[in-house]
Amino acid sequence: NAGVTQTPKFRILKIGQSMTLQCAQDMNHNYMYWYRQDPGMGLKLIYYSVGAGITDKGEVPNGYNVSRSTTEDFPLRLELAAPSQTSVYFCASSGNRVGQFFGPGTRLTVL
Amino acid sequence: DQQVKQNSPSLSVQEGRISILNCDYTNSMFDYFLWYKKYPAEGPTFLISISSIKDKNEDGRFTVFLNKSAKHLSLHIVPSQPGDSAVYFCAANQGGGADGLTFGKGTHLIIQP
């Protein structure tokens, strides 16, 4: 099993550009999450999904959109990138409350 | 307003000794607590968890203690090993887990040889 995979690993965007961060899991987990981690801070929840077709906002959803058309994939869309979105983005999945499995992260810089 | 607080940004411990990482929380609705370990350029890895109905959970060298009245939990690592050098995040969850975790800022543990 690959677990949770994220692409790309790194990306530099110009202000106003858009991009999609990809996330896939092969563990057949219902729950998937997007977090961002700013330097010296903990992870903050952006969006989550409890199953295909169902998504909901987390603590910091502004500037982002998500979709969940399959159990495996949970892409995060950034529209009109801003410097405040410079961060490391982690995708995670969970089958139960024991713990979430995290991907390796995408480091995004907006200049 | 931080609901999960890790007040020590870093901690240095000698190899073979005990490492104690602390975490405080303010939200009394939290009923499940987790510790994650993170190496640079990697995602967090689940380490150990505890439900609010327990006050201790042990897994090998790792033990988590929960004091609900003080809204405090701690992670003990005995004995500490060089591979334990990492950032440790405390996280909490309420009512079923589906709506994600609330994380502390992390503590950077450094194991000295």
Residue B17: pLDDT above 80? yes
What's residue B14's pLDDT? Answer: 98
Contact criterion met (CB below 8 Å) for B24 and B7: yes
% of chain A at pLDDT higher than 70: 98
Exposed, middle or buried by CB within 10 Å (0-12, 13-18, 19+), for A48?
Answer: buried
Residue whose C-alpha is closest to residue B104's, from B18, B20, B33: B33
What's residue B97's pLDDT? Answer: 63
Residue B21: pLDDT above 80? yes
What's residue A39's pLDDT? Answer: 87
HSE value, Cβ hemisphere, 13 Å, CA-based, for B18:
9
What's residue A97's pLDDT? Answer: 58
What's residue B87's pLDDT? Answer: 97
Q: Tell me the per-residue pLDDT of A12-30, one tens digit each, with 9 for 90 and over.
A: 999 999 999 999 999 999 9
Contact criterion met (CB below 8 Å) for A101 and A2: no
HSE value, Cβ hemisphere, 13 Å, CA-based, for A55:
20
Q: Tell me the per-residue pLDDT of A85-94, one tens digit each, with 9 for 90 and over.
A: 999 999 999 9
What's residue A56's pLDDT? Answer: 94
Strand partners, B107: B88
What's residue B75's pLDDT? Answer: 98
Residue A54: pLDDT above 90? yes
A101 touches chain B (CB under 8 A): yes
**What residue in B sits closest to A42 (Cα-Cα)?**
B105
| Distance in angstroms (rounded) separating the CA atoms of residues A75 and A58 | 15
What's residue B2's pLDDT? Answer: 87
Mean pLDDT of A59-71: 96
- A98 contacts on B by Cβ (under 8 Å): 46, 49
The sign of the torsion formed by the CA atoms of B79, B81, B85, B90 equals: negative
Q: Where would I find the beta strands (DSSP E) of A4-94?
A: 4-7, 10-13, 19-25, 31-37, 43-51, 54-57, 64-66, 76-78, 87-94
Cβ distance A102 to B45 less than 8 Å, yes or no, reads yes
Which range among A91-100, B29-38, B81-90 shows the weakest confidence by mean pLDDT? A91-100
Q: Tell me the per-residue pLDDT of B89-107, one tens digit each, with 9 for 90 and over.
A: 999 998 766 778 999 999 9
- A35 contacts on B by Cβ (under 8 Å): 100, 103
Neighbours of A96 (CB within 10 A): 11
Angle at A61 between CA A110 and CA A32, to 5 degrees: 100
- A2 contacts on B by Cβ (under 8 Å): none
Q: Tell me the per-residue pLDDT of B39-87, one tens digit each, with 9 for 90 and over.
A: 999 999 999 999 999 999 999 999 999 999 999 999 999 999 999 999 9
Mean pLDDT of B25-43: 94
What's residue B96's pLDDT? Answer: 65
What's residue B73's pLDDT? Answer: 97
Question: Which two structure tokens, joined as six digits, stand for A46?
Answer: 């952006």
